Amino acid sequence: MDFTLSEEQLMIQQAARDFAQNELLPGVIERDDAQKFPTEQVKKMGELGFLGMMVDPDYGGSGLDTLSYVLTMEELSKIDASASVIVSVNNSLVCWGLETYGNEEQKKKYLTRLATGEIIGAFCLSEPEAGSDATSQKTTAIDMGDHYVLNGTKNWITNGGTASVYLVIAQTDREKGHKGINVLIVEKGMEGFEIGPKENKLGIRGSDTHSLNFNDVKVPKENRIGDDGFGFKFAMKTLAGGRIGIAAQALGIAAGAYELAKNYAKQRKAFGTEIANHQAIAFKLADMHTQIEAARLMVYKAAWDKDNDINYDLSGAMAKLYASQVAMDTTIEAVQVHGGNGFVKDYHVERLMRDAKITQIYEGTSEIQKIVISRSILRD
């Protein structure tokens, strides 16, 4: 197998690295403290093509492969996971879902503006009693002939307050089970659509997470994606691709923490020498580096599967499961390497540790990934 990145992929990786250092790093601690959405940075990411990386150029996208997207996610996440999750949702969930399953009219109306960053989107599946279990939707979309009447609540929605376009999963016919679910395109400003308060989160505090309330919202029938009853399949396929983006985010968080820990260990002195010369620290760095490399190969493999039209349900779930655990373990160790300074915001590792935890939760918890993996391997 050839693990060499192409010249184009290396250029994209470097561009993302430069952007993260020059545009995301300044003010990242302040944005985290204030839960400030990175408005200016998101605008610049749109101008660089980061918000529609895999979208066909005919719809304003960059037309790149999944691996290029993963490389970008990794570099952004090393510095600011709040910014990278915005990129992840807009690319993996919203743009990909619209381009893959939307009709031409929907693509022209919404996809181009999303891919160029003129607007951003949100994916609305989770509810108070239905996280990754799409079959337990309480949100309903009653078919009224030429439109649906949407009622319900969605929770923990990334880009919830700043998005302009929302892909909402809702139950149309409960008796049909998963075949009675639809996905509707809802626009901000539709009558009866209310955005709840911003969540005060442990990590990724700069991202915009809200609950959404739908009270008799009239959604035109032409805003349904796919045939009647297609919503469950849409959600499952979209989440499968989303796991690759979150795995890349976890990888980036881990790599960022490792780089900070390594650099600190080479500078900080104790007992007459740099702490990197003490085996207690050197062994930590060795373990961190090994685990990150293993996670990187798994994430790249999942991206490669997707790019080569190979079923990536298994590889994506394994990559997310492992990379998110590596992110958690590595950031904890990075704080330990820093000692007391690791508990101080100015050294960044405490923020990366807080950010790492969410990678084990969204796009399906670690337990959900194990269900996906076990079902896949036991099917053979």
Burial 290-328, CB ≥16 within 10 A → b, else e: ebbeebbebbbbbbbbbbeeeebbbbbbbbbbbbbbbbb
CA distances from 178 to 137, 208, 336, 352, 362 (A): 10, 29, 46, 37, 21
Confidence of residue 363 (pLDDT cuts 50, 70, 90): confident
Assigned token pair, 341: 């300074």
Q: What is the largest CA-CA distance in the chain?
A: 78
* pLDDT value of position 135: 78
Pick from 160, 225, 148: nearest CA to 194 = 160
Share of the chain above pLDDT 70, in %: 99
CA distances from 96 to 10, 21, 25, 368 (A): 23, 27, 28, 22
pLDDT tens digits, one per residue of 154-199: 999 999 999 999 999 999 999 999 999 999 999 999 999 999 999 9
User: CATH topology for 232-378?
Assistant: Butyryl-CoA Dehydrogenase, subunit A; domain 3 (1.20.140)
Give all strands (DSSP E) within 31-175, no chain letters: 121-124, 140-143, 147-158, 165-171
Residues of CATH 1.20.140.10 domain(s) within the chain?
Answer: 232-378
pLDDT at 130 over 80: no
Cβ-based neighbour number of residue 151 at 10 Å: 17
CA-CA distance, 343 to 341, in Å (whole number)? 5
User: CATH topology for 7-120?
Assistant: Butyryl-Coa Dehydrogenase, subunit A; domain 1 (1.10.540)
Average pLDDT over residues 108-123: 97
Q: Say if domain 122-231 classifies as CATH 2.40.110.10.
A: yes
In the 8-state DSSP scheme, what is residue 28? H
* pLDDT value of position 54: 98
* pLDDT value of position 36: 98
Please count the residues of the chain.
Answer: 380
- Asked if 127 contacts 169 with a C-beta cutoff of 8 angstroms, the reply is no
pTM of the model: 0.97
Assigned token pair, 181: 């679910």
* pLDDT value of position 45: 98
Average pLDDT over residues 74-86: 98
* pLDDT value of position 137: 86
Phi, psi of 270 (to 5 degrees): -155, 140
* pLDDT value of position 329: 98
Kindly tell me the number of DSSP H helices and DSSP E strands found in the chain: 13, 9
| Catalytic site positions | 363
Residues of CATH 2.40.110.10 domain(s) within the chain?
Answer: 122-231
Confidence of residue 1 (pLDDT cuts 50, 70, 90): low
CA-CA distance, 359 to 306, in Å (whole number)? 20
* pLDDT value of position 136: 79
pLDDT at 351 over 80: yes
* pLDDT value of position 379: 86
